Structure 1
Amino acid sequence: MRLRTVLATVTAGLAAATCPTAVGPANAQESHACSPSVSIAGFSDALDKTTYEGTFVGNFSALAVDRNGDLAALSDRSSLFALNGRTLQPEGVVQLADESGAALDAEGLVVDLPHSRLRSSGGTPIGTYLVSSETEPSIRRHSRDGRILDRLPVPDALRVAPAGRAVGNGTFEGLTMLPGGRTLIASMEYALSGDSAGIVRLQTWKRHHGSFALGAQYAYRADSGLGVPEVTATPDGRLLVLERGFTVGVGNTVRLYLADPRHATDTSGIDNLTGQDGVRLIKKTLLADIADCPDLGATAKQPQPNPLLDNIESMTITGRTKGRLNVLLASDDNQNAVQTTRFYSLRVRM
């Protein structure tokens, strides 16, 4: 199934579940504008507080388009779900673990299909999953059935203190592959000790003969009080970046940026980033503050600036419609009664 078709069916499913008028004539879609660059087509809470084959469906930390147009949804409790590309309903689940069998704090996901012409005996494309964990942090390659195939190198400075300079629960949240499948990017959620607050590092790896070696590193400045839970490569090699924060009694802040790392300084050899050291940071442009989207009738279980908002943590591009990127977001409910597992369908003009 082509990605454009996948997104059309996913978008229709989200809109039908919660906002029947969200998908329709072009002027109706424009009426759901979040900003001049972003509109929301619909949302769905259909998977909130559900289970599949005895596994809790939620805690979503990453999304990716999988083979055959279905979706892969990663839970930070070590569950990797296969979701139907039309309905978002679970159709399979694989449990992941580290080398000792312990559960991963899994945060980032890439479905790696570098050899799309190779097919199994059943005619299905062969591929693997690249999964980041923010515990160490680490990036492991897993087979389709969850087995660990290999593990990528990680710079010492990015490891959690005292092994490195990273703060706990603040490392590899985002993971994406640039077009062409030769460059992998992982984003730290928060700044390293010794770097200025808000400046987070993005580490790259280059593929050489089927394996990944450490590449350049770049610096990105998040807005005050926000971290980076996800990055997703665009078809032209730029990045969509989610920035997120939470204030007790107020709720979530979630902003979507377009970022361009192509002229940024390689910071892999720079110990401390002050923001005043001549380093060219990744240039970013605000696309939308999700709080400015129409709420489409959504309700929130706790205070929010907009009842549509929740703990949005995952993002993937599922195709194009009339020149716009179709972007699917999902929230991490933390298996918490006052949070919601919610999917959002956005259309983004770059």
Structure 2
Amino acid sequence: MAGRAVRKVRQGSGRKVAKGFTMTKFSAGSEPNACSAWAVVDWFSDALDKTFFEEKFVGNMSALAVSPEGRIAALADRSLLFHLDAATHEPVEVVALYDENGKETDFEALVFDEDGTLLIASEEPAVRRYTPEGKFIDRLPVPDSLLIAPAGRAVVNETFEGLAMQPGGLTLVASMEGALRGDESSYVRFQAWERETTGDEFRIGVQWGYERDGGLLLSDICASGDGRLLVLERGFDKSVGNIIRVYLADPREADDVTHVENLSGQDDVALMDKTLLVDMVNCPPLGATNKQSQANPLLGNIEGMTITGTTPDGRLKVLMVTDDNQSDMQTTRLYGMTIRLPEL
């Protein structure tokens, strides 16, 4: 194909997004605790850090989701699912998860279906369905190209990292953490599954391309409620610490790249538009401390993100969590943010 990949980047200040780990300052809003024109950090809590619940270590968090009953589900990548009280965020239940062979696996993302079953993505890559009690039900088909080489083109530890259910429950979307072999390193793929009605089996749908910031990986996604997706990009650099950016991605005019063998800057392909909502280095630190050297001590290795509700004026209430990797130098930290979306 001739031409170049097309992707628009938007942000409140109208400036280009810096590539790599450049700590660029963006214009903040006028509200207290504003991080940008779109986002406010409301609070943080380290109450879960280095704690135990029913003799299980509360940490290694990789994903968050809200159950139909309103509880917060926090997924640990050590095959544990913690249910947290929605108000206090204290653990109230823990469920052990295993694959279809009864083995632990590296779980990375989850969403709830409307009937309370869980869809959980892992690094094989796979998307499995579980009962609310944690019993394995089945697994969704995965395109061959997304399997780990040599079966496919995916790189070990850079497969499914985010999972989102679009409004109506008919479209499920998974994001790859990194690029496929043969794709340009900054381009990652989002895989969709579709079904006719809720309760039906999901079938493989379209793929979209997304251009991540240089040096960053995709950590999580969630549905914004209007067909768009919040995308969490993260990285670490010794000179500045953690880099955490939240984008709004729009797949509505993106091309299906399922049959594009190699995504590159030379392809005439429409990627998802992305709008920078917040670079969290610009959030007020709120008195946070950090054992690691950070440009902003509030930051950590944020891996999980979910929307817990909306404000009366339609802004999103967003909950985030860090993965402490069970390390004394890292912290299990929860964040509450309020994010306003650009108009459609």
What is the match of residue 335 of structure 2? 344
Q: Is 1:224 equivalent to 2:214 in the alignment?
A: yes
Q: Which residue of structure 1 aligns with residue 152 of structure 2?
A: 164
Q: Which residue of 2 aligns with 1:3?
A: none
Q: Which amino acid aligns with 1:207?
A: R
Q: CA deviation at 1:323?
A: 2.4
CA contact (8 A) 2:117 2:129 kept: yes
Match status 1:145 vs 2:146? no
**TM-score between the two structures when normalised by the length of structure 2:** 0.88
Corresponding position: 1:269 with 2:259:
yes
1:212 and 2:213 matched: no
Q: Which residue of 2 aligns with 1:244?
A: 234
* Deviation readout 1:197-253 (Å, 9 max, x if unpaired): 110000000024511000000000000000101011111110000000112353110
Aligned mates of 1:29, 1:224 — CA distance in 2:
30
Q: Structure 1: which amino acid aligns with 2:193?
A: W
More displaced stretch, 45-54 vs 317-326: 317-326
Q: Write the distance in 2 (CA, Å) between the matches of 1:72 and 1:212.
A: 23
168, 178, 201: which one aligns with 1:190: 178
**Any idea what SS the aligned residue of 1:291 has?**
helix
Do the aligned partners of 1:29 and 1:41 also contact (CA within 8 Å) in 2?
A: no
Equivalent runs, 1:81-92 vs 2, <5 Å: 81-92=82-93
For 2:302 and 2:195, how far apart are their aligned partners in 1? 30
Structure 1 CA distance, aligned partners of 2:219 and 2:208? 16
> In 1, distance between residues paired with 2:93 and 2:222?
24
Bigger Cα displacement from structure 2, 65-74 vs 222-231? 65-74
Residue ranges of structure 1 left out of the alignment (5+ in a row):
1-27, 114-125
Segments of 5+ residues of structure 2 without an aligned counterpart are: 1-28
TM-score (norm: length of structure 1): 0.87
2-side partners of 1:73 and 1:87: how far apart?
Answer: 14
1:201 equivalent in structure 2: 189
Shift of 1:170: 0.5
| 2:62 alignment partner in structure 1 | 61
Among 298, 315, 326, the alignment partner of 2:305 is: 315
Retained in 2: the 8 A contact 1:170–1:189?
yes
Could you tell me how far 1:127 is from its partner in structure 2? 1.6
* Residue in structure 2 matched with residue 24 of structure 1 by the alignment: none
Deviation of residue 188 (structure 1)?
0.1
Matches of 2:292 and 2:211 in 1, distance apart?
Answer: 29
Partners of 1:330 and 1:196 in 2: CA distance? 30
Quick one: which amino acid aligns to residue 61 of structure 2?
F
Amino acid at match of 1:85: A
Aligned amino acid, residue 203 of structure 1: Q
Measure the CA separation in 1 of the matches of 2:315 and 2:226: 13
Q: CA RMSD in A?
A: 1.2
Provide the C-alpha distance between the structure 2 equivalents of 1:248 and 1:103, rounded to a whole number of angstroms: 32
Paired AA for residue 132 in structure 1? A
Kept in 2: contact 1:29–1:39 (CA 8 A): no
The yes-or-no answer on 1:330 pairing with 2:321 is yes
Bigger shift: residues 169-178 or 269-278 = 269-278
> Alpha-carbon deviation of 1:164?
1.1
Asked whether the 8 Å contact 2:67–2:116 carries over to 1, the reply is no
Do 1:187 and 1:203's aligned partners in 2 also have CA atoms closer than 8 Å?
yes
* Deviation at residue 29 of structure 1 after TM alignment: 8.9
8 Å CA contact 1:80–1:94 kept in 2: the answer is yes
Shift of 1:275: 2.4
- Residue 186 (structure 1) shift: 0.2
Greater per-residue helix proportion? 1
| Aligned-residue offset at 1:324 | 1.1
Amino acid at match of 2:126: S
**Secondary structure at 1:68's aligned position in 2?**
coil
Contact map agreement 2:62 2:75 (CA 8 A) in 1: yes
The code of the aligned residue for 2:333 comes to R
Q: Is 1:96 the counterpart of 2:97 in the alignment?
A: yes
Provide Cα deviations, 1:99-119, integer angstroms capped at 9, x if missing partner.
221111000101111xxxxxx
Q: Distance in 1 between matches of 2:273 and 2:58?
A: 36
* CA deviations over 1:144-170 (Å, ceiling 9, x no partner): 111111110001111111211111110
Give me the identity figure in percent: 56
Native 8 Å contact 2:291 2:329 kept in 1: yes
Aligned counterparts of 2:327 and 2:65: Cα–Cα separation in 1: 24
Q: What is the count of residue pairs matched by the alignment?
A: 310
Do 2:155 and 2:180's aligned partners in 1 also have CA atoms closer than 8 Å? yes
CA contact (8 A) 2:81 2:97 kept: yes
Instruction: State the partner residue of 1:119.
Output: none
CA–CA distance in structure 2, aligned partners of residues 77 and 86 of structure 1: 25
Equivalence for 1:7 = none
- Matching of residue 178 in structure 1 with residue 178 in structure 2: no
Which residue of structure 1 aligns with residue 48 of structure 2? Answer: 47
Q: Which runs of 4+ in 1 moved over 2 A?
A: none
